[in-house]
């Protein structure tokens, strides 16, 4: 018996969780269930995190969590509990297998069989946002070497374990050369350690277009958080219904299993929701806790039900389906078929019983880090960059003004009058002679700027790491 925490969530959550637990218990899952409350009710009781201290205790004690979808109330007073839980529990890998069930579930992509492995803790989901001027807000995109190494290695280990042929990396490093560039570089380094697994790389825009048009050319996809979020919903939807896909959030010591979809409040309480996403996630969980025999029994019965055309409304199609059933009747149909084997649908997908572990991250020898200058961001309501340059040049010391950009594009020196400018200016100061800059030069510039009445909103130091620039050029530089 293993103790597992579960939460019924919001919207369609309670209906699909009841159906899932009923099937798991009937299939002989060796689980003792412990329920916690998370989500809307907790948020609206005045707890803006959406989760109580007792619920955290249960999660940290049991380390495995089966979670129904929850509703995040609108408004800036609430943070997404899903993102908080993934990050707080260190669940770095989000694994989302998407598969077509042709000819039993209608889809334009009968060959679709793709596993999206989405980085789960970083990227724009760091949630670090600031308003800096009247006109400008920013969101920090954080990509780390440990984060990239863990997720990419996980993808290759997954491919090996599940006998998948290829891992594809989707990034936008033609634009984000440092952040997505690091993800891509780590991908290439780690791919070289797995010569038995093919690998390729795509710019995310054309990669996502091909994934939604010709998914059969992909096998395992590894990608940063935001792209993974978007493409996994698309891939689940084009397999037949977003209601079909389950997902695993895997960390070094904890794991959380949930459907890919949300709480679908518009169809809640009507007994029409498809419980398959949560049920398939529960099968991933059974595999994770060493009960692949039960996972296989459940998936076989599920496949038989789908093959026999017993379908919930989201996948019901005249001419393909036979009976339209509600959530609970669908669950009962699966229970009736426990012990049967499907005729066509392969269902041993998750039944490996092996827990993937990529091992701990080992920090490398630190690089030689040399200060080369500073970017100083200024809130300035003027329009002519020459005027700002005149004021900023008065601040020069051993580091000197070399460039001003607005929204990343160079406007000084030799800017174009056509370039639209906001009130958010970046002034780059650099050492001239290639020597390391003295750190004290930066506060000296800042205190001069304050004395000059300039509104400095932030600074970013410019470093070289082992002789390689750790900052991007200005556009047009």
Residues lying near ligand NAD in the complex (CB under 6 A): 12, 69-72, 82, 242-243, 258, 261-267, 273-274, 277, 314
8-state DSSP, 470: -
89 contacts 251 by C-beta, under 8 angstroms: yes
Q: How far is the CB of 15 from ligand NAD (least distance, A)?
A: 9
Q: Which residues contact 93 (CB under 8 A, 6 or more apart)?
A: 117, 118, 119, 120, 150, 151, 154, 248, 249, 250, 251
Alpha-carbon separation of residue 118 from 105, 367, 386 (angstroms) = 26, 29, 45
Beta bridge partners of 460: 375
**DSSP of 130-148:** EE-SSS-EEE--B--HHHH
Q: Least distance in Å: CB of 278 to ligand NAD?
A: 8
Quote the Cα angle for 308-311-312, to 5°.
165
Nearer to ligand NAD, 69 or 385 (CB): 69
Residues sharing a CB contact under 8 Å with residue 35, sequence separation 6 or more, in sequence order: 5, 6, 7, 8
Q: Exposure of 455 by Cβ count < 10 A (0-12 exposed, 13-18 middle, 19+ buried)? A: middle
Shortest Å, Cβ 11 to ligand NAD: 6
Indicate the residue among 173 and 314 with the shorter CB distance to ligand NAD: 314
CA–centroid distance for 369 within its chain: 30
Rounded least distance, CB 49 to ligand NAD, Å = 15
Between 262 and 292, CB nearer to ligand NAD: 262
Least gap, CB of 85 to ligand NAD (angstroms)? 9
Short-list 201, 330, 341, 336, CA closest to 278? 330
Half-sphere exposure for 372 (CA within 13 Å, toward CB): 18
Shortest reach from residue 339's CB to ligand NAD, in Å: 26
CA distance 323 to 307: 11
Least Å distance between CB 241 and ligand NAD?
Answer: 6
Q: Are 119 and 92 in contact (CB under 8 A)?
A: yes
- Minimum distance, C-beta of residue 81 to ligand NAD, in the bound complex (Å): 8
| Cα 157 to Cα 348: distance, rounded to the nearest angstrom | 18
Q: Compare residues 69 and 224 and give the one whose CB is closer to ligand NAD.
A: 69
Q: What are phi and psi of 41, to 5 degrees?
A: -60, -40
Minimum distance, C-beta of residue 212 to ligand NAD, in the bound complex (Å): 17
Q: Which is nearer to ligand NAD, 120 or 263 (CB)?
A: 263
Q: How many CA atoms lie within 13 A of 362 on its CB side?
A: 4
Residue among 307 and 314 whose Cβ is closer to ligand NAD: 314
Between helix 276-288 and helix 292-307 the angle, nearest 10°, is 160
- Residue whose CB is nearest to ligand NAD in the complex, by number: 262
Instruction: Give the integer Cα–Cα distance in Å for 31 and 380.
Output: 62
State which residue, 21 or 403, has the beta carbon closest to ligand NAD.
21
**CB neighbourhood size of 163 (10 A):** 8
Nearer to ligand NAD, 19 or 445 (CB): 19
Min CB(322)–ligand NAD separation in Å: 19
Residue (129 or 193) nearer to ligand NAD, CB: 129
Tell me the angle at which helices 292-307 and 13-26 cross, rounded to the nearest 10 degrees: 110
Closest approach of ligand NAD to the CB of residue 51, in Å: 12
> Whose Cβ is closer to ligand NAD: residue 277's or residue 474's?
277
């Amino acid at each position: 018996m293993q103790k597992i925490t579960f939460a019924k969530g919001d919207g369609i959550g309670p209906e699909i969780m009841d159906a899932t637990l009923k099937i798991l218990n009937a299939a002989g899952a060796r689980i003792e269930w412990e329920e916690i409350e998370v989500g809307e009710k907790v948020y609206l009781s005045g707890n803006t995190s959406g989760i109580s201290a007792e619920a955290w205790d249960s999660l940290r004690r049991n380390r495995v969590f089966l979670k129904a979808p929850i509703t995040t109330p609108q408004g800036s007073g609430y943070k997404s509990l899903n993102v908080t839980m993934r990050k707080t529990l260190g669940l770095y890998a989000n694994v989302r297998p998407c598969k077509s069930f042709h000819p039993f579930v209608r889809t334009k992509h009968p060959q679709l069989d793709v596993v999206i492995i989405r980085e789960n803790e970083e990227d724009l989901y760091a949630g670090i946002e600031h308003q800096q001027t009247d006109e400008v807000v920013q969101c920090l995109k954080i990509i780390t070497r440990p984060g990239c190494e863990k997720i990419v290695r996980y993808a290759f280990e997954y491919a090996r374990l599940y006998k998948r042929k290829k891992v594809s990396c989707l990034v936008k490093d033609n634009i984000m050369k440092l952040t997505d560039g690091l993800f891509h570089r780590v991908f290439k380094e780690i791919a070289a350690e797995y010569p038995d697994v093919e690998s390729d790389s795509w710019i995310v825009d054309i990669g996502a277009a091909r994934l939604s048009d010709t998914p059969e050319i992909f096998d395992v996809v590894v990608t940063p958080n935001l792209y993974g979020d978007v493409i996994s919903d698309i891939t689940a939807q084009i397999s037949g219904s977003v209601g079909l896909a389950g997902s695993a959030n895997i960390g070094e010591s904890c794991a959380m299993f949930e459907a890919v979809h949300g709480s679908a409040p518009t169809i809640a309480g009507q007994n029409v929701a498809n419980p398959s996403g949560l049920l398939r996630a529960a099968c991933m969980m059974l595999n994770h806790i060493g009960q692949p025999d039960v996972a296989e029994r459940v998936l076989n019965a599920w496949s038989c039900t789908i093959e026999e055309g017993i379908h919930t409304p989201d996948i019901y199609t005249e001419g393909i389906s036979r009976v339209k059933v509600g959530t609970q009747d669908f669950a009962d149909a699966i229970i009736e078929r426990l012990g049967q084997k499907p005729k066509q649908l392969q269902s041993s997908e998750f039944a490996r019983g092996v827990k993937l572990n990529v091992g701990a991250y080992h920090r490398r020898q630190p690089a030689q880090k040399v200060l080369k200058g500073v970017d100083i961001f200024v809130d300035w309501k003027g329009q002519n960059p020459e005027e700002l340059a005149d004021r900023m040049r008065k601040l020069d010391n051993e580091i000197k003004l070399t460039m001003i950009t607005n929204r990343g594009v160079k406007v000084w020196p030799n800017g174009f009058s056509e370039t639209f400018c906001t009130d958010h200016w970046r002034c780059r100061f650099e050492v001239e002679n290639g020597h390391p800059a003295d750190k004290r030069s930066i506060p000296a510039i800042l205190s001069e700027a304050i004395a000059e009445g300039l509104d400095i909103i932030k600074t970013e130091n410019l470093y070289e790491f082992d002789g390689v620039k750790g900052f991007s050029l200005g556009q047009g530089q």
